[in-house]
């Protein structure tokens, strides 16, 4: 028995914060570590003492095992918790920790080594009687056995889908084995591959196990993590809604059998694929705390980090299998800084505002949010894209999904793109609610990925929130006639007009005419007629196009510095707004841009004001398109000498988190592409010099 | 096309909302005046009937206003747009700061004349880059934006407003020059507009001209006389003589672009200071020029709390009598016009037909002279004293006209009505604080002069739709003429042809009735526009703010007082 009084947490982000929470509850003090970009991160503020590791990349910081052990010794820590990722499944590091006389919170280095090799792990599983399909080993490129199709070729090392190939017939096999092996070698430094049956429409189900050094092993039920994109889990839940009680028993018993077989200590996860026909394939064992452990905590009421710390200190597991009951249903979603609509393109930058499920005053509405970020946090490309895990727990799966969706709608993460809108759409999608969720779920439901968030009048309310926030800002800076009603005219020919840009680049036109309404106490409340959509523009004949917009009757029941209560045709919407001015001045001359982050219980929407005027200087000289906003070139579609047509996309510039397509203003020949992918471009830069021929 | 409400009945009251910054609305004991208690029962049938009559009058005005933007005719509007051009008011919408107000001046100038309603131009006061500017644009869709006699009058008034109030001038020009068939009523006086521009420049009042289209012949001097010029590429042109005239005069064959194109003027002649890619670009450049002016106002600005009146300004529509023969209490107007309905009445017990006192509109202190009946000697001398006080204190004066004239009759004459009236006219003539006329009813006879009418150069004149203005009421005028006719007949010993005289009297009455209306008046530039009464606080606020662009300074010298 050892006593842990000071725990070093060798990790960052949400998991470091989460481990510290339990450690503190158990009366321990904590030591954190941080890289240079993380010097002021939430996880560093969440520990008692923190030690600089230097550097920015993982290799320069969180993967420096020697520096971490030195930090533990220097700060008097007596144990190291590795979290997940980084050094969590590094047997050499585990051994070094133990050699340094510290407690290693995790399975023994031998167990880590054994189970880290998928082929060895599968052999152990087969030996232990774990239910699984067989495995065909590949020795020196030679397939050692009879393959049934479809089959899956997998790398023995690593994970994340790399070194993996589906083979449908025998003539594809050799090529697939060679390719998978090549890929595995380059990714993991180990080209070993093996073959197992491929389960069509399979589900990913895993069992949480926990063992101590006194020979006790329990399972804490299963988790289903089938919904994945590129083999990264997106939604995890417990229990699995897609397996029979018999399969559940087989999985849990098998997991415990395997743990006992290897004398497993600490927390681990035994992963399986379950086919539509209930065929079970053992995948691997993760010898660490999983990202998705909170769903297990929710349904069992146990604190897995506490159990880890207790068994690491040599205590016996405080719970026996019979004590463990699964209550209700828990769902976790991973909020990531990636844009599902653009193929999960990573989004980096500074978070403005971060809040999830703010209506948390009623405990029955609460969701659990595990995060390592807060307002102002920087999302860097050096680390993974996980922003937060949001976990709901309710008596039924449907209720858990609804509560989780509600919390996500009621969230706001500004400054970066996230998958929140997609998660909300997913949690309300029929197949999801019917638990029809094989691992191919996201491929089969692309509409979930392109969800735009709030729709209909919920979306209109958010847009109007932005419109009236900007309107109020503009009235506020009118030093000459602040007393006059907004946009007052004694001869009106048009309303007040604004054009906004959605994150997708779509233009949103709003026209409004405001009128003050006098209340009985003499004060004024604003009302407006509003029309959404493009206003009539002259057609080729010069006549205005028909106006099919519908007048919306809007009242601003309440206006605050951070939002408004907006009534649209008699329906009240409470909208929160935050106006961000980029650069000096208002939006008028394209000098600066205005972004408004809006939110309501229906969701969040960020819109940017389109500049009223374009800067034409370069074009005036016959040049070509100029950069609308400072940004980065992310695609170049033309080369010098190309003939381009009016409207053809020449280049794509990412600015303000939006992709701006740079198009040819007329038919022309490219005389010079002036920037390349990755180049920083400034507002007003001539991007592509064009020769229009006739303007010479 | 969407139909927008004309002259929205937007009462300019407390427009800021709770959490936002603004001038303090805390009313303390340092504010001017005490609260007026209204006695108007807005639920009474009399009020409701009057309200309905006023609404009808306004509807007539609104219909005229609605016709103005496309007065050139749909065909020409479409042709203009087909060429990728914006209408003049669309250009102004793009020019002014978003969500700020724009006060169009004399929108119905030309009404009832040979010239079109609105006279093919748009003038007004708008906010550009935070600066109150005098903005003027020509409407190319009406006879090629050419000038007519009334448009010259409107332009002249525009320059006067810019000069007196020290407002930077922005001109959105696109004009074929003078409407040639009408040259006789235009050519000689019209030349003053170029003198106006250079004199503004001399006074340090900047002028910026945007050339959106042709600036032909004399029109070429509009950019020529401006401090700054912005030419729209391939659109703006300026030449003294167009290609046909050049061919006629010197037998040179030349294209428009070479002769006076934007590019030529930007690169060769130097007439154009800035070359704009398109109309919006010209507007963007102009806004940039205004930014560098570093303009600041010379007046003290709003110094009083800007709290809404206790009584709803929307009720102004029903306050004044639609029929100017029915008297009403001017204090009911003040209770809905002044900040917090506060008014410090001067000499309330003396000369009570002329209500004088101090209050504020949107925080701008103002001295009020309002009619509650005709002017007697007491009213005239009280007014003269009040005007002198306001000049000593540098407080602008608002004259609320509802006046049928000075008292006549032997008693009045013996009481020195001319001598006392002369004091009032001396005062209004030589007062140097800004004057405003708000025509809330009749303005007849010398009463118009005593109340600093048009001939006395008020900075701004705005009328309500019930306004009547003439030398006297139509009935009185016709009656006077009838008596004169009878006396003449009697003098010649002739029999009066009763039937003919009755017809003549009736005809004269209806002629004068027509010539006294607000529309007739505004058509001749006797005012700066008819406004919806409920807009009075907003319009007066904008006018007051505009005069504070210049110094607000009272007079120290007057003509000889006839004591």
Distance CA A182, CA A139 (A): 14
Residues in chain A with CB shorter than 8 Å from the CB of B78 are 538, 541-543
Confidence band, pLDDT 50/70/90 cuts, at residue A221: very high
SS3 at position B208: strand
Give the A window 414-443 contacts with B, CB below 8 Å.
none
In chain A, which residues have their Cβ closer than 8 Å to the Cβ of B103? 490
Percent of chain A with pLDDT over 70: 94
Residues 303-342 of B with CB under 8 A from A: 306-310, 312-314
Contact A491 B545 (CB under 8 A): no
Query: Going along A230-337, which residue ranges are E strands?
Result: 232-238, 266-274, 280-286, 329-336
Least confident of A188-202, A370-384, B120-134, B387-401: A188-202
Nearest to B209 by CA among B134, B157, B97: B134
Question: Which chain B positions have a beta carbon within 8 Å of A492's beta carbon?
Answer: 4-8
Listed in order, strand segments (DSSP E) in A469-506 are: 496-501
pLDDT attached to residue A657: 60
Local structure of A166: helix, strand or coil = strand
Beta carbons of B281 and A478 less than 8 Å apart = no
Selection from B537, B557, B553, B164 nearest residue B395 by Cα: B553
Last residue of a domain, one of B261, B293, B325: B293
Return the pLDDT at A695: 40
Residues of A in contact with B119 (CB under 8 A): none
Query: How many of the other CB atoms lie within 10 Å of CB of B354?
Result: 28
pLDDT at residue A503 in the model: 77
What are the pLDDT digits (tens) for A10-58?
999 999 999 999 999 999 999 999 999 999 999 999 999 999 999 988 9
Asked if residue A500 has pLDDT above 80, the reply is yes
Residue A276 has pLDDT above 50, yes or no: yes
With beta carbons under 8 A apart, name residues in chain B contacting A484. 12, 15, 100-101, 538, 541-542
pLDDT of residue A591: 43
Token pair listed for A678:
């990755």
What's B84's DSSP letter?
Answer: T
Q: Would A6-105 and A617-691 be classified into the same CATH topology?
A: no
Rounded Cα distance, B108 and B118, in Å: 5
Contact B90 A494 (CB under 8 A): yes
pLDDT at residue B19, rounded to an integer: 33
Q: Fill in the DSSP letter of residue B75.
A: H
Do A490 and B103 meet the contact criterion of CB atoms below 8 Å apart?
yes
Structural domain count of chain B: 3
B395 and B492 inside one domain? no
Shortest Cα–Cα distance, A51 to chain B (Å) = 45
Residue in A488, A522, A544 closest to B101 by CB: A488
Same domain, B369 and B496: no
Q: Under DSSP, is residue A355 helix (H, G, I), strand (E, B) or coil?
A: strand
**Residue B19 falls within a domain, yes or no?**
no
Task: Decide if B242 contacts B256 (C-beta within 8 A).
Answer: yes
Fold (CATH) for A6-105:
Rossmann fold (3.40.50)
Domain A617-691 class in CATH: mainly beta
Going by C-alpha positions, the residue among A296, A221, A286, A285 that lies closest to residue A258 is: A285
- For A493, the closest of B22, B89, B532 (CB atoms) is B89
Is there a contact between B14 and A560 if contact means CB atoms under 8 Å apart?
no
Mean pLDDT over A628-642 rounds to 84
SS3 call for A443: helix
Of A468, A479, A480, which to mutate for an interface test with B (greatest number of B Cβ within 10 Å)?
Answer: A480
pLDDT in tens, B423-471: 999 999 999 999 999 999 999 999 999 999 999 999 999 999 999 999 9
Mean pLDDT value across residues B266-291: 94
> Based on the domain organization, do B337 and B407 belong to the same domain?
yes
pLDDT over threshold 70, residue A160: no
pLDDT at A322: 96
Cβ–Cβ below 8 Å for B2 and A540: no
Share of chain B above pLDDT 90, in %: 82
B61 three-class SS: helix
Give me the mean pLDDT over the A117-141 stretch.
89
Least confident stretch, A187-191, A233-237, A517-521: A187-191
CB proximity list for A128: less than 8 A, separation 6 or greater:
A254, A257, A258, A260, A261, A262
Asked if pLDDT for residue B171 goes beyond 90, the answer is yes
Domain identity same for B451 and B325? yes
Residue B17 lies in a domain: no
Q: Is residue B62 part of a domain?
A: no
Judge whether B458 and B437 are in contact, CB under 8 Å: yes
CATH (domain of B525): 3.90.226.10
Same domain, B463 and B409: yes
Under the banding of pLDDT at 50, 70 and 90, the label for residue A615 is low
Judged by a CB distance cut-off of 8 A, whether residue A230 touches chain B is no
Residues B271 and B372 in one domain: no
Q: Is-cis flag, bond preceding B436, omega within 30?
A: no
**A120: phi then psi, degrees, rounded to nearest 5:** -65, -40
Q: Residues of A with CB below 8 A from B130's CB?
A: 477-480
* B306: in domain: no
* pLDDT at residue number A201: 85
Residue A163 is predicted with a pLDDT of: 78
Cβ neighbors of B187 (< 8 A, separation 6 or more) are B178
pLDDT over 70 (residue A363): no
pLDDT score for B23:
42
Instruction: Tell me what pLDDT residue A364 has.
Output: 61
Q: Give me the architecture of the A135-197 domain, per CATH.
A: 2-Layer Sandwich (3.30)
B502 with B527, same domain?
no
Comparing CB atoms, the residue among B14, B83, B98 nearest residue A523 is B14
A14 φψ region: left (φ > 0), alpha (ψ -120 to 50), beta (else): alpha
- Based on the domain organization, do B491 and B418 belong to the same domain? no
Which pTM value belongs to this model? 0.86
Residue B304 resides in a domain = no
pLDDT of residue B10: 41
- Helices A109-116 and A91-99, axial angle in degrees (round to 10): 180
Q: Do B11 and A589 touch (CB under 8 A)?
A: no
A661 — contact with chain B (CB < 8 Å)?
no
pLDDT digits (tens, 9 = 90+) for B379-436: 999 999 999 999 999 999 999 999 999 999 999 999 999 999 999 999 999 999 999 9
Give the torsion sign (CA, B97, B101, B105, B107).
Answer: positive
Let me know if residue B344 belongs to a domain.
yes
Residues A447-462: what's their mean pLDDT? 93
How do residues B466-495 score in pLDDT, each as one tens digit? Answer: 999 999 889 989 999 999 999 999 999 988
Q: Are A220 and A168 in contact, with CB atoms under 8 Å apart?
A: no
* pLDDT at position A618 over 60: no
CA dist A532 and A334 (Å) reads: 34
How does pLDDT run across A488-499, given as a tens digit for each residue? 999 999 999 999
Give the CA distances from residue A394 to residues A302, A307, A330, A335, B245, in Å, rounded to whole numbers and listed in that order: 16, 23, 6, 20, 88
Beta bridge partners of A596: A579, A607
pLDDT digits (tens, 9 = 90+) for A516-562: 999 988 888 999 999 999 999 999 999 999 999 999 999 999 999 99
Give the distance from residue B1's alpha carbon to the nearest chain A alpha carbon, in angstroms: 7
Q: Do the chains contact at B541 and A522, CB–CB below 8 Å? A: no
For residues A682 and A628, give the distance between their C-alpha atoms in angstroms, rounded to a whole number: 8
Whether the CB of A542 is below 8 Å from some CB of chain B: the reply is yes
Averaged pLDDT score across all residues of chain A: 90
Cα distance from B258 to chain A (closest Cα, Å)? 16
Those residues whose C-beta lies under 8 Å from the C-beta of residue B72, and which sit 6 or more positions away, are B80, B120, B139, B140, B141, B142, B143
> In the structure, what pLDDT confidence band is assigned to residue A658 with cuts at 50, 70 and 90?
low
As given in the structure block, the two tokens for residue A681 are: 């471009």
Average pLDDT over residues B218-226: 88
CA distance A123 to A119: 6
Q: Are residues B138 and B194 in the same domain?
A: yes
Counting beta carbons within 10 angstroms of the beta carbon of residue A111, is it exposed (0 to 12), middle (13 to 18) or buried (19 or more)?
Answer: buried
Mean pLDDT of A377-385: 88
Tell me whether residues A494 and B535 touch, CB distance under 8 A: no
pLDDT tens-digit map of A280-324: 999 999 999 999 999 999 999 999 999 999 999 999 999 999 999
Query: Residue A518 and residue A488: Cα distance in Å, rounded?
Result: 16
| Whole-angstrom distance, CA of residue A553 vs CA of residue A568 | 6
pLDDT at A622: 53
Report whether pLDDT(B11) > 80.
Answer: no
pLDDT per residue as tens digits for the range B19-61: 333 344 444 556 788 999 999 999 999 999 999 999 999 999 9
Q: Are B390 and B447 found together in one domain?
A: yes
Percentage of chain A modeled with pLDDT above 90: 63
pLDDT, average across residues B223-238: 95
Interface test with A, best of B16, B63, B71, B99 (most A CBs within 10 A): B99
In whole angstroms, give the CA distance from residue A458 to residue A452: 12
Q: Does B555 reside within a domain? A: no
Give residue limits of the domains in chain A: 6-105, 135-197, 329-427, 456-609, 617-691
Query: Is residue B541 very low, low, confident or very high in pLDDT (cuts 50, 70, 90)?
Result: very high
pLDDT at B16 (0 to 100): 41
CATH fold group of domain A329-427: D-amino Acid Aminotransferase; Chain A, domain 1 (3.30.470)
The token pair at B333 is: 């107007």
B436 and B405 share one domain: yes
Q: How many residues are listed for chain B in this entry? A: 563
Q: At residue A627, does pLDDT exceed 80?
A: no
**Which residue of B90, B99, B104 is in closest CB contact with A491?**
B104
Q: Do B197 and B139 share a structural domain?
A: yes
Contact A518, B11 (CB under 8 A): yes
Task: Find which of A487, A489, A665 to mutate to test the B interface (most B CBs within 10 Å of its CB).
Answer: A489
CA neighbor of B381 nearest in space, from B356, B345, B405, B411: B356
Mean per-residue pLDDT for B538-552?
Answer: 98
> What is the domain range of residue B329?
313-471+520-547
How large is the ipTM?
Answer: 0.93
Inter-CA distances, B244 with B215, B252, B256, B264, Å: 15, 9, 10, 19
The answer to whether residues A524 and A518 touch, using CB atoms and an 8 Å cutoff, is yes
Does the residue B165 lie in any domain?
yes
Tell which of B235, B258, B293 closes a domain: B293
């Amino acid at each position: 028995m050892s006593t842990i009084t000071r725990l070093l947490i060798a990790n960052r982000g949400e998991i470091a914060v989460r481990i510290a929470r339990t450690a503190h509850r158990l009366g321990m003090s904590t030591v954190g570590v941080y890289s240079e970009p993380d010097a002021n991160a939430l996880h560093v503020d969440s520990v008692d003492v923190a030690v600089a590791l230097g550097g920015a990349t993982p290799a320069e910081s969180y993967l420096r095992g020697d520096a971490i052990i030195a930090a533990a010794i220097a700060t008097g820590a007596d144990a190291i918790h590795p979290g997940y990722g980084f050094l969590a499944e590094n047997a050499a590091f585990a051994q070094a920790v133990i050699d340094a006389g510290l407690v290693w919170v995790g399975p023994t280095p031998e167990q880590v080594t054994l189970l880290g090799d998928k082929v060895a792990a599968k052999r152990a599983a087969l030996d232990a009687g774990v239910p699984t399909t067989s495995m065909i080993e590949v020795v020196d490129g030679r397939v050692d056995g009879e393959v049934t199709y479809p089959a899956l070729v997998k790398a023995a090392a690593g994970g994340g889908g790399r070194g993996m190939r589906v083979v449908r017939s025998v003539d594809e096999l050799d090529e697939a084995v060679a390719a998978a092996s090549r890929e595995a070698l380059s990714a993991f430094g180990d080209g070993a591959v093996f073959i197992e049956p491929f389960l069509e429409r399979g589900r990913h189900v895993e069992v949480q196990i926990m063992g101590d050094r006194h020979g006790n092993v329990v399972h804490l039920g299963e988790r289903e993590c089938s919904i994945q994109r590129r083999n990264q889990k997106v939604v995890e839940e417990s229990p699995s809604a897609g397996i029979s009680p018999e399969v559940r028993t087989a999985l849990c018993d098998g997991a415990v059998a395997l743990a006992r077989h290897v004398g497993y200590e600490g927390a681990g996860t035994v992963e399986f694929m379950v086919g539509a026909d209930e065929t079970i394939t053992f995948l691997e064992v993760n010898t660490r705390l999983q990202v998705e452990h909170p769903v297990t905590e929710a349904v069992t009421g146990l604190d897995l980090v506490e159990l880890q710390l207790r068994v690491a200190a040599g205590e016996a597991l405080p719970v026996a299998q019979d004590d463990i009951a699964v209550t209700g249903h828990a769902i976790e979603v991973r909020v990531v800084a990636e844009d599902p609509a653009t193929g999960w393109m990573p989004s980096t930058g500074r978070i403005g505002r971060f809040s999830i499920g703010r209506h948390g005053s009623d405990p029955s509405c609460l969701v659990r949010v595990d995060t390592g970020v807060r307002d102002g946090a920087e999302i860097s490309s050096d680390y993974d894209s996980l922003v937060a895990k949001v976990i709901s727990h309710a008596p039924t799966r449907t209720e858990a999904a609804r509560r989780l969706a509600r919390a996500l709608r009621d969230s706001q993460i500004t400054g970066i793109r996230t998958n929140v809108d997609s998660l909300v759409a997913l949690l309300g999608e029929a197949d999801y609610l019917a638990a029809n969720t094989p691992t191919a779920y996201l491929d089969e439901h692309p509409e979930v990925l392109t969800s735009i968030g709030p729709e209909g009048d919920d979306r209109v309310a958010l847009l109007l929130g932005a419109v009236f926030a900007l309107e109020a800002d503009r009235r506020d800076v009118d030093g000459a006639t602040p007393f006059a009603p907004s946009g007052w005219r004694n001869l009106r020919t048009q309303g007040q007009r604004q054009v906004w840009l959605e994150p997708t680049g779509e233009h949103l036109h709003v026209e409004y005419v405001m009128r003050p309404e006098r209340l009985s106490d003499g004060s004024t409340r604003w009302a407006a007629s509003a029309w959404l959509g493009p206003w009539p523009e002259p057609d080729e004949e010069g006549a205005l196009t028909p106006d099919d917009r519908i007048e919306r009757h809007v009242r601003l029941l309440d206006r605050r510095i951070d939002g408004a209560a907006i009534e649209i045709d008699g329906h009240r919407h409470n909208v929160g707004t935050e106006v961000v001015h980029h650069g000096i001045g208002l939006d008028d001359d394209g000098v600066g841009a205005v972004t408004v982050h809006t939110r309501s219980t229906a969701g969040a929407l960020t819109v940017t004001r389109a500049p009223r005027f374009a800067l034409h200087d370069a074009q005036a000289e016959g040049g070509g398109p100029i950069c609308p906003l400072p940004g980065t070139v992310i695609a170049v579609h033309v080369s010098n000498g190309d003939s381009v047509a009016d409207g053809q996309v020449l280049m794509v510039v990412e600015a303000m988190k939006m992709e701006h397509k740079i198009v040819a203003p007329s038919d022309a020949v490219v005389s010079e592409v002036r920037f390349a992918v990755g180049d920083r471009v400034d507002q007003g830069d001539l991007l592509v010099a064009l020769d229009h021929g006739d303007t010479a | 096309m969407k139909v927008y409400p004309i002259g929205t009945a937007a009462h300019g009251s407390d427009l800021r909302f709770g959490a936002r910054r603004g001038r303090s609305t805390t009313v303390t004991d340092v504010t001017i005046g005490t609260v007026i208690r209204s006695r108007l029962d807005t639920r009474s049938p009399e009020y409701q009937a009057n309200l309905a009559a006023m609404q009808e009058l306004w509807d007539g005005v609104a219909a005229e206003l609605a016709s103005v933007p496309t007065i050139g005719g749909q065909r020409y509007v479409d042709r203009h747009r087909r060429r990728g051009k914006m209408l003049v008011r669309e250009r102004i919408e793009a020019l002014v700061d978003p969500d700020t107000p724009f006060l169009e001046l004399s929108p119905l100038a030309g009404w009832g004349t040979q010239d079109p309603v609105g006279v093919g131009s748009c003038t007004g006061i708008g906010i550009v880059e935070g600066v109150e500017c005098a903005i003027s644009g020509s409407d190319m869709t009406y006879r090629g934006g050419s000038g007519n006699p009334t448009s010259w009058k409107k332009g002249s008034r525009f320059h006067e407003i810019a000069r007196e109030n020290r407002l930077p001038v922005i001109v959105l020009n696109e004009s074929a020059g003078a409407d040639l068939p009408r040259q006789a009523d235009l050519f000689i006086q019209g030349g003053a507009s170029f003198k106006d521009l250079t004199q503004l420049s001399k006074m340090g009042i900047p002028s910026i001209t945007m050339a959106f289209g042709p600036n032909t012949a004399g029109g070429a001097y509009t950019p020529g006389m401006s401090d700054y010029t912005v030419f729209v590429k391939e659109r703006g042109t300026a030449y003294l003589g167009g290609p046909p005239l050049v061919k006629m005069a010197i037998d040179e064959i030349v294209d428009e672009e070479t002769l006076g194109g934007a590019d030529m003027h930007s690169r060769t002649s130097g007439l154009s200071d800035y070359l704009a890619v398109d109309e919006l670009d010209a507007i963007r450049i102009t806004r940039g020029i205004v930014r560098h002016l570093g303009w600041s106002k010379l007046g003290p600005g709003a110094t009083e709390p800007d709290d809404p009146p206790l009584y709803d300004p929307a009720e102004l529509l029903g306050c004044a009598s639609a029929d100017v023969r029915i008297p009403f209490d001017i204090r009911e107007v003040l209770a809905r016009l002044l900040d917090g309905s506060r008014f410090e009445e001067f000499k309330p017990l003396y000369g009570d037909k002329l209500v004088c006192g101090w209050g504020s509109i949107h925080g701008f202190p103002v001295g009020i002279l309002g009619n509650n009946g005709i002017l007697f000697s007491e009213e005239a001398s009280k007014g003269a004293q009040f005007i002198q006080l306001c000049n000593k204190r540098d407080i602008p004066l608002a004259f609320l006209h509802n006046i049928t004239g000075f008292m006549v009759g032997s008693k009045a004459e013996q009481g020195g009505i001319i001598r006392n009236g002369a004091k009032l006219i001396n005062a209004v003539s030589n007062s140097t604080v800004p004057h405003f006329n708000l025509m809330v009813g009749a303005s007849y006879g010398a009463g118009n002069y005593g109340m600093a009418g048009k001939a006395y150069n008020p900075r701004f004149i705005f009328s309500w739709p019930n306004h009547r203005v003439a030398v006297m009421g139509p009935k009185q005028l016709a009656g006077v003429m009838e008596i004169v006719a009878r006396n003449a007949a009697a003098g010649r010993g002739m029999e009066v042809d009763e039937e003919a005289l009755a017809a003549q009297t009736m005809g004269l009455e209806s002629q004068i009735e027509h010539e006294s209306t607000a529309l007739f008046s505004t058509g001749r530039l006797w005012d700066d526009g008819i406004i919806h009464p409920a807009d009075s606080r907003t319009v007066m606020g904008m006018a007051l703010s505009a005069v504070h662009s210049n110094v607000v300074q009272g007079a120290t010298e007057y003509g000889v007082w006839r004591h």
